């Protein structure tokens, strides 16, 4: 006799498959974000399954999920490829990110605690050190943590989930190290303005400083991309 509760019909095999698929998705996602799988590269499901020591089923399901998340793209009659971002994609992600970061600043004002202020100060100081020696990789990591820390400190779980999903796309075109030198110092000055506004309790100033900072970041990245030859970008391995 079948159960009236669908949850009771879930088998151990179903749970095991779901767990394996989720793990495979996480591993493929990490390969994409780390650059191991390059933009434009065609995915070989059989090779991935062998590499990850799983059957092709979980790999296929994981790839479908990553297509929905925007990290992969399906080209009919050709296969699945790591998504190659255009300048329009970059602009759209930055625009959305500006809105979410500015919203987080508004939400953070009434719940800003001393430990949160101290955490933002610590990250700013560490970014300053990285900027002064032109260490883009470290600055980039700290920058991601600074903004994630802001969003996380709001305690708004839906905002956190939306923001982190967006950052996965952001990470793919921001890790090539095009932005360096004095630009990093300017970026960190904008962080200082955000923190100063937050500490002042001025919601309007905090919103504007946060939105403006991400907008300036958008202009810096687009300007840098204009100077990069297409031959310098990762190409498809078809």
Residue 223 belongs to some domain of the structure? yes
Q: Which of 41-55, 141-155, 219-233 has the lowest mean pLDDT?
A: 219-233
If asked whether residues 101 and 183 sit together in one domain, one would say yes
| 235 located within any domain | no
Of 82, 108, 143, the last residue of a domain is 82
Give the domain CATH number at 13: 1.10.10.10
- 37 compared with 225, residue with greater pLDDT: 37
SS3 label, residue 223: helix
Which of 82, 99, 120 finishes a domain?
82
Note whether 168 and 69 are within 8 A (CB): yes
Give the pLDDT confidence score for residue 38 in this predicted structure.
84
121 domain-assigned: yes
- Rounded-to-10 torsion of CA 200, 121, 97, 70: -160
101 plus 203 within the same structural domain: yes
- Whether residue 99 is found in the same domain as residue 65: no
pLDDT(7) > 60: no
- Percent of the chain, pLDDT > 70? 83
What single DSSP character describes residue 83?
P
Residues 61 and 15 in one domain: yes
| Structural domain contains residue 237 | no
In a domain, 97, yes or no: yes
Looking at the domain assignment, is residue 128 inside a domain? yes
- The DSSP element (H or E) to which 75 belongs, if any, is strand 72-75
* Shared domain check, 111 and 65: no
pTM over 0.75: no
CATH code of 124's domain? 1.20.120.530
* Count: domains in the chain: 2
| Pair 49, 105 in one domain | no
Q: With respect to residue 15, please indicate whether it lies within any of the assigned structural domains.
A: yes
* Alpha-carbon span 134 to 180, nearest angstrom: 6
Same domain, 72 and 178: no
Q: How many whole angstroms from its chain centre is CA 74?
A: 21
For residue 135, count other CB atoms closer than 10 A to its CB: 16
Residue 118's φ and ψ, nearest 5 degrees, are: -65, -40
Q: Are residues 94 and 207 in the same domain?
A: yes
CB proximity list for 85: less than 8 A, separation 6 or greater: 39, 169, 172, 173
Q: Once rounded to an integer, what is the mean pLDDT over residues 173-178?
A: 50
> Per-residue pLDDT tens for 197-222?
999 999 999 999 999 999 998 888 88
Are 62 and 113 found together in one domain?
A: no
26 and 68 fall within a common domain = yes
Mean pLDDT, rounded, of the chain: 84
Residue span of the structural domain in which 200 resides: 87-230
Q: Which of 36, 59, 82 is the last residue of a domain?
A: 82
Are residues 101 and 205 both part of a single domain? yes
- How far is Cα 56 from Cα 45, in angstroms, rounded to an integer? 6
- List the one residue out of 118, 216, 10, 133 whose CA is nearest residue 208: 216
Q: In this structure, is residue 1 part of a structural domain?
A: no
Is residue 68 located within the same domain as residue 145? no
């Amino acid at each position: 006799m079948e159960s009236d509760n669908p949850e009771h019909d879930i088998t151990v095999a179903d749970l095991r498959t779901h767990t394996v698929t989720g793990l495979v998705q996480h591993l493929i996602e990490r390969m994409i974000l780390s650059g191991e799988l390059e933009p434009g590269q065609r995915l070989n499901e059989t090779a991935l399954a062998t590499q990850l020591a799983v059957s092709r089923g979980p790999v296929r399901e994981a790839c479908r999920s990553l297509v929905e998340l925007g990290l992969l793209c399906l080209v009919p009659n050709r296969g699945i490829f790591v998504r190659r971002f255009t300048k329009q994609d970059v602009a759209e992600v930055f625009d959305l990110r500006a809105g979410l970061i500015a919203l987080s600043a508004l939400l953070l004002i009434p719940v800003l605690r001393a430990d949160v202020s101290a955490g933002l100060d610590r990250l700013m100081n560490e970014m300053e050190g990285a900027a002064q020696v032109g260490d883009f990789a470290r600055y980039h990591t700290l920058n991601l943590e600074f903004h994630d820390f802001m969003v996380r400190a709001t305690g708004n779980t839906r905002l956190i989930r939306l923001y982190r999903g967006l950052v996965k796309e952001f990470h793919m075109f921001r890790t090539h190290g095009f932005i360096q030198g004095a630009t990093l110092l300017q970026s960190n000055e904008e962080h200082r303005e955000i923190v100063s506004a937050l500490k002042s309790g001025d919601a309007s100033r905090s919103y504007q400083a946060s939105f403006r900072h991400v907008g300036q970041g958008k202009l810096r990245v687009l300007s840098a991309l204009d100077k990069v030859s297409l031959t310098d970008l990762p190409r498809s391995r078809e």
